[in-house]
A and B are shown apart, each in its own frame.
Chain A
Amino acid sequence: MTRQPVFDFKKLEEQAKEILSRYEEKRAATLPLLWLAQEQIGHLTPEAEQWVADKVGKSIAQVREVVSFYTLYHTKPVGKYHVQVCVSLPCLLKGSDRVIAQMKERYGISPGQTSRDGQVTLSTVECLCACESAPCAQINRQYVGCLTDKNIFEMVIQQTSTGRGGNLNLPEPPLHIAADGPVLSLRFKNSQGTWFDSYAADGGYQAAKKVLTSMKPQEVIDLVLKSNLRGLGGAGFPTGRKWSFIPKDSPKPKFLVVNADEGEPGTFKDRYILERDPHALIEGMIIAAYAIGSHKSYVYIRGEYDRPIERFSKAVEEAYAKKWLGKNIQGSGFDLDVVVHRGAGAYICGEETALLSSLEGGKGFPKLKPPFPAIEGLFKCPTIVNNVETLSCVPPIIKNGPEWFAKLGSAKQGGTRLYSVSGHVNRPGLYEASAAVSLKELIEGQQFAQGVRAGKKLKAVIPGGISAKILKAEEINVAMDFDSLMAAGTMAGSAGVIVMDETTCIVEALRSASHFFADESCGQCSPCREGTGWILKIMNRVRENQGRKVDLDNLLSIAGNMEGKTICVFADAAAWPVQSYISKFREEFEYHIREGRCDLASHGLVGSNR
């Protein structure tokens, strides 16, 4: 018997003090302090929770609320190797259920269990946003992808040298970038391009210099408005207009918050920017902060993104060292401090007000609107929340002019986008293309995904992440900009394109999507909390060939009842797949229910663990 490790908080006091000093309010230090405490012995003991509670001025129950909300905090020990297999749709399409079956075969464990020797814990997780290397998993903090080799886990575990919590020193997954520019992915292929010197050599920080030395904040906003830059996190709101909502006369501090909580299944673009061109984001942040009059910026990165956090944090350190952050940037008189804030496993924190709740140290509950964040956001101060990709577009806009940027896209959406293409295509990957590129071209183009995998026909495509309504094979002749896809009855969302070929069981696809939404509902509003769970239970039953005739109509009615009745749009997003999959593939659903079986290849493998 090994002795139970004991939480020794004395060793952490100095670090805790530093962490608390980053935030305007001490409760905001809740997540980072929990991370700090958990790193020491691998899970959170009651002593650790109490220690955090005392530091941030909460009760221990309030801390436990937070701990239990996020998937990455553990109150019980986990195995030395925590294998977290992604079961969201893009990975499911590529065989994540086989990975789980292999784990069971090799270690005798099902999701939620730890091997008898305490070495390996298996969990299923929702989208890790590495769909280009699906099926993928996270082992401790390290991403591993393309898990097609049967013995992958043994290979991984043999290679490991460091213990729990650290990197496993595995090679990076192969690159899946096929475009190079003209806006966002110019520098992705340069393996040294991440760091300051390379960025500066490529003309980096010249846009920020121009803004800080020769432009007024309003001029920056006007210029961005003119560029037709729209929010690329998924909502597509004009960025310049969003910035203009910040009250000019407020005596309160203003915050720029970067939404790097990438989590929409099928999307993996922000990860590439954080890992491969972090200074582009930092430069965009300097310009945006200047435009809205903010001197403090938080970058909220999803907790699973270990390497992106590490690299981006290092880039921030470089920027401080080179005087591009901190007091009096480059002698301009403008100050900007940047704090990197690690999430802890909750898709909903990508919703901007949930992100703010989480940043303030609470559960990721979306907030009631009004007030909107621009008026009363982080710590009740005016706040702009922008996506990573959106802000990374800003330096090129300044450098090359708004007209240049606007011309790259459609009439109402300037520039390019990073399209994440996953699923049954020959070359899954991240592709930069015009905002107005067609979905068909993305899937079939030689410079893009190079078509549906050999010998198979296209069945359906989700064009903008799992929340977007599904399109049938014959509907892909559509431009990918926000307005065109909305006109086509779906949405551009996060530009996560999930491609399904004819082997895909649409019932299983919807069950997987329903699983995602039931897992990730924050549980705040009754229609969403109860509705997502109800839909999943019906879908599980239908998939297990226990469907009833009334199920389809009930599903449609439940989805309809969830729509437009909640604090945020998560419930709507959960309803859309139900509505679109059933209405577009009703016959296939009816066949399952009537015949009690599926004739398609992807069906019948290990699936739900719920």
Chain B
Amino acid sequence: MPTLTIDGKQVTVEPGTTVIQAAEKLGIFVPRYCYHPGLTIAGNCRICLVEVEKAPKLQIACNTPCADGMVVHTQSSKVNQGRASVLEFLLINHPLDCPVCDQSGECDLQNFYMQYGLYDARFQEQKQKKPKAVPLGPTVMLDAERCVLCSRCTRFTDEITRTGELGIFNRGDKAEVGLYPGKTLDNKYSGNVVDICPVGALTDRDFRFKARVWYLSSAPSICTGCSQGCNIDVHYVIDRPHLAEGARIMRLKPRYNPDVNKWWMCDEGRYGYKFVDENRIRQVSHRGQAVSWEDAYSSLAASLARFKSDGRLNEIGILPSAQQTNEELFLVRKLFKEGLGIKNCDIQVPSPAGTSDGFLIKPDKNPNTMGAALIGFPGASKPLKSTNGSSASGHIFDKALSGEIRALWVFGHDLVKLFGEEKVKALAASLELFVFQGSNDNGTARYAHWVLPSAVFAENDGTFVNVSGWVQRIKPCFAPLADSLPDAQVLLELARRIGISLSFKSAEEVFNALAAEMPAFGGLTYERIGLQGARVHQKEPAAR
């Protein structure tokens, strides 16, 4: 294993490691445009020049293999001069349109110019003209004049999606990135080219002009679009209601996780955040009338107590959801299954397989099917094939239809979509108690007697278990919208009122109890889960 010295610090690396990787190991950042750890080495931008002692000229850190005894300088005056001249070349034909460029503030031309450039402009000629504001497809906008031809995007479509839509055409200073005439960039991962574009050449049509990036706050989270659980950063704005019609989430960006999603995420997940700010249930309601949480708590606690005292717990059905966190599902179990002794409590709903591919997109569109199964809701991983409306099937919904179940508590599921409006309408008329607890308005919310607004993932704290058994954490970015509350808080309050002892003050405390009780989670803590997740101890085979 070679040992080398970079900026006076020694580091020992695996054979085959490049200087840029070794520097990273030491916490030394070498500027780059074309280099991206998820793509092949192109070596064309030349900004990562470093000085290697005994080498006659500056070397590119991205393609220089580490050798034993090598002495590297990443900040010498020769290096800085080299980078300044490379920057000058990159900027001669670059338009001076930073004030109207969406990349401003997160642009590596700006960043590295401030660090290595700072020269006076010498270019007095006509700049090269290239296409501007060209929609490449539903998600990406191209400005070819801003492009530095680093080829990250073409390597992405060549190597990662293998769809090959993007190309760099022509040569010399007439070279430009683009599509074959008449084609579009519409693969399932197209948004990633915006992330990897180091400049303002490829911008996100969804995010474009919504907000200046310096107004954005960021919080690490997990995509809830499917069971893959891609790691993301939620970029949001809470103090500028005039932006994007008051929406809080501006965009989602993939966050590196070597075991789950590497640097990428799919478009379905990336652009699937709109439900956070749109079509939300804003208040507690009872038969269409807005009521307070207090009214709901006391009435619902009383109803549950009555069913219990009447010995009719068999007539209660609870339908939790694989959209809920482990903590919420654990409390559902503690309150309804163990506390009250309700047997009809499982995720028994049809869950038709969605689109999938061999890469990140999984057919199960729930983020926590594996967690639900581990916590005792196996129905999540054995989705219902069909319901026939007869209680002989043993399914909660069938039992409700046949009148065997008289009280139904639904977390998030849209029964109207799953079973049809007629059945749900009939159910609403016949049930004694019909509670819908969820974040967004849907058909079921319109028929339920009680509607309890839930917080969404970006307002919630907790964990999910992804399809490969990785326990991953979500954190609240901002407060729940209007009257909505995290399900955990509601469940704890109900438990308190019914007299079931569940004294947790935070999601973390719930998780610690869960970890103590459930062998699969044994020994795990929020700290151990951290930002990169931790594996459950056994893998449930049935998860999709």
Residues of A at under 8 Å CB distance from B? 46, 49, 58-62, 64-65, 68-69, 346, 363, 368, 370, 518-527, 529-534, 537-538, 541, 548, 550, 554, 561-562, 564-567
Contacts and interface: CB of A to CB of B under 8 A. Distances in A.
Contact of A564 (B58, B158, B173): B58
A478 B164 CA distance: 53
A523 B147 CA distance: 13
Contacts of A531: 89
Given A518-B172, A526-B89, A537 B125 contact: yes
Contacts of B85: 527, 561, 565
Given A61-B165, A61-B166, A523-B171, A565 B65 contact: no
Contacts of A61: 164-167, 179-180, 183
A59 B170 contact: no
A62 B44 contact: no
Contacts of B172: 518-523, 529, 532-533
16 contacts: A58-B164, A60-B180, A62-B164, A64-B169, A64-B180, A65-B167, A65-B169, A519-B172, A521-B172, A525-B43, A525-B46, A526-B45, A527-B89, A529-B149, A534-B89, A565-B82
B57 A524 contact: no
B41 interface: yes
A68 B175 CA distance: 9
Most A CB atoms within 10 A — which of B92, B123, B163, B180? B180
Top 8 closest pairs, chain A to chain B, by CB: A59-B164, A533-B173, A523-B175, A561-B85, A537-B125, A530-B89, A564-B57, A61-B167
Contact of B90 (A49, A522, A530, A554): A530
Given A62-B158, A64-B167, A368-B43, A526 B173 contact: no
A565 B149 contact: no
A572 to B, nearest CB: 10
Contacts of B303: none
Interface in B175-203: 175, 179-183
A520 B149 CA distance: 17
A520 B171 CA distance: 8
A346 B175 CA distance: 14
Most B CB atoms within 10 A — which of A519, A548, A567? A567
A59 B168 contact: no
B148 A526 contact: yes
A360 B89 CA distance: 30
A523 B164 contact: no
A315 B324 CA distance: 76
Contacts of A49: 180
A561 B89 contact: yes
A518 B82 CA distance: 22
B199 to A, nearest CB: 12
Contacts of A527: 46, 85-86, 89
Contacts of B56: 564
A533 B167 contact: no
Contacts of B174: 523
Contact of A525 (B44, B126, B158): B44
A523 B165 contact: no
B388 interface: no
Contacts of A346: 171
B63 interface: yes
Contacts of B149: 523-524, 526, 529
A537 B174 CA distance: 13
Nearest to B124: A548
Contacts of A566: 46
Most B CB atoms within 10 A — which of A46, A59, A520, A532? A59
Contacts of B505: none
B439 interface: no
Contact of B173 (A58, A530, A550): A530
B63 A368 contact: yes
A60 B163 CA distance: 10
B164 A567 contact: no
Given A526-B148, A534-B125, A538-B125, A65 B168 contact: yes
A276 B167 CA distance: 41
Given A61-B167, A368-B63, A538-B125, A526 B46 contact: yes
Given A561-B88, A565-B49, A522 B171 contact: yes
B128 interface: yes
A529 B171 CA distance: 8
B369 interface: no
B23 to A, nearest CB: 18
A16 to B, nearest CB: 20
Contacts of B148: 526
Interface string B461-472: 000000000000
B242 interface: no
B126 A537 contact: yes
A68 B178 CA distance: 12
Contacts of A62: 158, 164, 167
Given A68-B171, A537-B126, A550-B122, 7 more contacts: A59-B164, A61-B179, A64-B180, A526-B44, A526-B149, A534-B123, A554-B122
B368 interface: no
Nearest to A348: B171
Interface in B265-302: none
B167 A370 contact: no
Contacts of A65: 167-169
Given A58-B164, A59-B163, A69 B173 contact: no
Contacts of B63: 368
A523 B180 contact: no
Nearest to A567: B43
B93 interface: yes
Nearest to B164: A59
B15 to A, nearest CB: 14
B16 to A, nearest CB: 11
Nearest to A346: B171
B85 to A, nearest CB: 4
B221 to A, nearest CB: 34
Contact of A524 (B44, B65, B89, B182): B44
Nearest to B170: A68
A531 B183 CA distance: 32
Contacts of A370: 65
A246 B38 CA distance: 32
B170 A69 contact: yes
A230 to B, nearest CB: 21
A578 B43 CA distance: 26
Contacts of B183: 60-61
B190 to A, nearest CB: 14
A526 B90 contact: yes
Contacts of B163: 59
B171 A69 contact: yes
Interface string B95-130: 000000000000000000000000000111110100
A576 to B, nearest CB: 15
A522 B170 CA distance: 8
Contacts of B181: 46
Contacts of B57: 564-565
B185 to A, nearest CB: 10
A532 B164 contact: no
Interface in B42-71: 43-47, 49, 56-58, 63, 65
Most B CB atoms within 10 A — which of A518, A530, A537, A550? A530
Contacts of B166: 61
